[in-house]
Amino acid sequence: MTVALHRATADDLPAMATTDGRAFGIDYSEQDLTDLRLILDPDRFVLARDGGGGEVVGVAGSFPFEITPPGGVPITAEGVTWVSVAATHRRRGILRSMMGELHSGYAGAGTPLAVLAASEGGIYGRFGYGVATASRDVEIDRARAVLRADVPDPAGVRFADTEEVRERVPAIHRRWCAVQPGALSRPPRWWEFALLDRPHQRRGGTSRFHLLHADGYVGYRLDSGVCRVVDFFAVTEEARLALWRVLLRMDLVRTITTEAVADDDPLRWLLTDARAVRTTGVADGVWARVLDTPAVLAARRYAVEVDVVLQVDDPDGYAGGRFRVRGGPDGAECAPTEAAADLCLDVPALGAVAFGGTRAHTLARAGRLSADAPEVLGRFDAACAADREPYAGTHF
Ligand SMILES: CC(C)(COP(=O)(O)OP(=O)(O)OC[C@H]1O[C@@H](n2cnc3c(N)ncnc32)[C@H](O)[C@@H]1OP(=O)(O)O)[C@@H](O)C(=O)NCCC(=O)NCCS
């Protein structure tokens, strides 16, 4: 049985949704397809068609994003999504051929990075992806979460309606992305889609309520005594504290749950009892696949001055080679070199270390990164650290 790859067209959306729905257990309605047209660019998708009947048996594509490296200039990234192969056609190389087609297209267009959220942890390492950010489930026992007496009350939070959110919040989100390593940008149509707030987006909770601050935003739903925070971003610590204060004041709410804050959110340190905030689950968040090593390593800033030669191993040939990275807190450059390598790592390890979420020391202990001299490893490790835990803030 032969299978051929094609670029999708707008007419293919129903067949794509059928394939996706069969894999992920989703019934897409006509309304869903209309909504999805807001955010899916068909020409960013490849379809695998069965050579016999011509039906769609595989789908993969991407959303256009930018992602913020530590301290640096946002990097253009394709966010790979909607990946599925029909159960009748699995394990015969269809995913591999679709990933090859997508990656060569991205590299050909000069896109330095691909990112994704993985359904299973065992799939994407072989395609060069490494875990760049973590995702955490946090649960707050509201009655126990008492702010310390010396914590200020900056105020400045009010409720907003959807129209005001549409007008004002995207700009706040862009400012947040600039200060948050690992943050994924949201194009305007992403907001359009999120703010449709259809019943299936609510998962049994209320519609989305909006808390607005000049420098921050919280979107939440109420669900039988639980406040589910679906979005939380603050450009300043003052805005963050003001938003937390309002959430913690919600009488009748027993528990606040969220995946929308990074593990290093300072809230625990503001409370009289840090145990009121519990991390109930930790998983991989965004996986990153470097396609252009100099572009990614020069876009970020380094915590301390570093001058190092990296040997990157990439069996697919996009990011591999030897590169000299020179950088510090004010800027960086990275270019191919013939000089001897100080450090060797594989391309998934590069994706993990590039955003500061995984330490070079940890990768070295796992044998995924090697260094001739311990002091070079120590310097690289210190240089790659970010001032905040990298965190994406957008699930796709
Ligand atoms: C995951 C999925 C897309 C794989 O498609 P496929 O066409 O069967 O994959 P391929 O035959 O191209 O496999 C390519 C490689 O990945 C491996 N692989 C595929 N699925 C895997 C899985 N779920 N776990 C671990 N390895 C997997 C294969 O063994 C093969 O390995 P190798 O070539 O290195 O020996 C398919 O099983 C699927 O649709 N699953 C349900 C939806 C899903 O989880 N999609 C991913 C969303 S992020």
- Look at ligand 1, atom 40, and give the residue with the nearest C-alpha: 84
Question: Does 87 contact ligand 1 (Cβ within 6 A)?
Answer: no
Per-residue pLDDT of the chain (396 residues; tens, 9 = 90+): 699 999 999 999 999 999 999 999 999 999 999 999 999 999 999 999 998 779 999 999 999 999 999 998 999 999 999 999 999 999 999 999 999 999 999 999 999 999 999 999 999 999 999 999 999 999 999 999 999 999 999 999 999 999 999 999 999 999 999 999 999 999 989 999 999 999 888 989 999 999 999 999 999 999 999 999 999 999 999 999 999 999 999 999 999 999 999 989 999 999 999 999 999 999 999 999 999 999 999 999 999 999 999 999 999 999 999 999 999 999 999 999 999 999 999 999 999 999 999 999 999 999 999 998 999 999 999 999 999 999 999 999
In the chain, the amino acid numbered 358 is T
Domain around 77: 3-133
Residue 130 tokens, joined: 């490494």
Total of domains in the chain: 3
Is 84 known to sit in a ligand binding site?
yes
Counting other chains too, the contacts that 245-252 makes at CB distance below 8 Å and 24 or more residues apart are 245/147, 245/153, 245/154, 245/157, 246/157, 246/211, 246/218, 247/211, 247/218, 247/220, 248/140, 248/142, 248/145, 248/147, 250/142, 252/225
If you measure from the C-alpha of residue 81 to the centroid of ligand 1, how many angstroms do you get, rounded to a whole number? Answer: 14
Model pLDDT, residue 11: 96
Question: Does 98 contact ligand 1 (Cβ within 6 A)?
Answer: no
- Look at ligand 1, atom 14, and give the residue with the nearest C-alpha: 96
Question: Does 60 contact ligand 1 (Cβ within 6 A)?
Answer: no
If you measure from the C-alpha of residue 120 to the centroid of ligand 1, how many angstroms do you get, rounded to a whole number? Answer: 9
Q: Domain boundary at 114, 133, 152, which?
A: 133
Regarding whether 167 and 51 lie in a shared domain, the answer is no
Regarding whether 207 and 173 lie in a shared domain, the answer is yes
Kindly state whether residue 392 falls inside one of the protein's structural domains.
no
- Look at ligand 1, atom 39, and give the residue with the nearest C-alpha: 84
Kindly state whether residue 390 falls inside one of the protein's structural domains.
no
Regarding whether 248 and 124 lie in a shared domain, the answer is no
Kindly state whether residue 322 falls inside one of the protein's structural domains.
yes
Q: Domain boundary at 282, 305, 327, which?
A: 282
Dihedrals phi, psi of 11, to nearest 5 degrees: -70, -15
Q: Are 395 and 284 in contact (CB under 8 A)?
A: no
Kindly state whether residue 362 falls inside one of the protein's structural domains.
yes
- Rounded Cα–Cα distance for residues 42 and 47 (Å): 10
Q: Are 245 and 147 in contact (CB under 8 A)?
A: yes
Question: Does 118 contact ligand 1 (Cβ within 6 A)?
Answer: yes
- Of 91, 94, 102, 135, which is best to mutate to test ligand 1, by the most ligand atoms within 8 angstroms of its C-beta? 91
If you measure from the C-alpha of residue 58 to the centroid of ligand 1, how many angstroms do you get, rounded to a whole number? Answer: 11
Kindly state whether residue 396 falls inside one of the protein's structural domains.
no
Please report the beta strands in the chain, taking only residues with DSSP state E, as ranges in sequence order.
Answer: 3-7, 46-50, 56-67, 75-85, 113-116, 130-131, 134-141, 158-160, 209-213, 216-223, 226-234, 255-258, 277-284, 287-290, 306-313, 321-328, 331-336, 343-346, 369-371
Regarding whether 233 and 154 lie in a shared domain, the answer is yes
Regarding whether 241 and 186 lie in a shared domain, the answer is yes
Question: Does 92 contact ligand 1 (Cβ within 6 A)?
Answer: yes
Regarding whether 141 and 80 lie in a shared domain, the answer is no
Residue 269 tokens, joined: 């340190």
Question: Does 315 contact ligand 1 (Cβ within 6 A)?
Answer: no
Q: Are 13 and 35 in contact (CB under 8 A)?
A: no
Residue 362 DSSP symbol: H
Regarding whether 113 and 22 lie in a shared domain, the answer is yes
Backbone region of residue 224 per phi and psi (left: phi > 0; alpha: psi in -120 to 50; beta: other values) = left
If you measure from the C-alpha of residue 93 to the centroid of ligand 1, how many angstroms do you get, rounded to a whole number? Answer: 8
- Rounded Cα–Cα distance for residues 284 and 131 (Å): 6
Q: Are 389 and 134 in contact (CB under 8 A)?
A: yes
pLDDT tens digits for 54-90? Answer: 999 999 999 999 999 999 899 999 999 999 999 999 9
Model pLDDT, residue 275: 98
Handedness of CA 176, 179, 180, 185 (dihedral sign): positive
If you measure from the C-alpha of residue 91 to the centroid of ligand 1, how many angstroms do you get, rounded to a whole number? Answer: 6
Is 275 known to sit in a ligand binding site?
no
Model pLDDT, residue 84: 98
Which atom of ligand 1 is closest in space to residue 118's alpha carbon?
48
Regarding whether 117 and 218 lie in a shared domain, the answer is no
Using alpha carbons, select from 69, 76, 62 the residue that is nearest to residue 116. Answer: 62
- Rounded Cα–Cα distance for residues 395 and 362 (Å): 26
- Look at ligand 1, atom 22, and give the residue with the nearest C-alpha: 123
Regarding whether 235 and 168 lie in a shared domain, the answer is yes
Model pLDDT, residue 200: 86
| CATH code for the domain of 367 | 3.30.1050.10
- The neighbour count for residue 134, using CB atoms within 10 Å, is 20
Our CA angle for 346, 348, 353, nearest 5°, is 95
Question: Does 126 contact ligand 1 (Cβ within 6 A)?
Answer: yes
Question: Does 96 contact ligand 1 (Cβ within 6 A)?
Answer: yes
Is 40 known to sit in a ligand binding site?
no
Q: Which residues, in sequence order, are CB contacts of 358 under 8 Å at separation 6+?
A: 130, 131, 132, 349, 352
| CATH code for the domain of 61 | 3.40.630.30
Query: Catalytic site residues?
Result: 124, 396
Beta-bridge partners for 85: 58
Regarding whether 199 and 234 lie in a shared domain, the answer is yes
Question: Does 86 contact ligand 1 (Cβ within 6 A)?
Answer: no
- Rounded Cα–Cα distance for residues 139 and 242 (Å): 19
Regarding whether 367 and 264 lie in a shared domain, the answer is no
Which atom of ligand 1 is closest in space to residue 99's alpha carbon?
12
Model pLDDT, residue 53: 79
Model pLDDT, residue 52: 79
Regarding whether 39 and 100 lie in a shared domain, the answer is yes
Using alpha carbons, select from 49, 57, 54, 48 the residue that is nearest to residue 101. Answer: 48
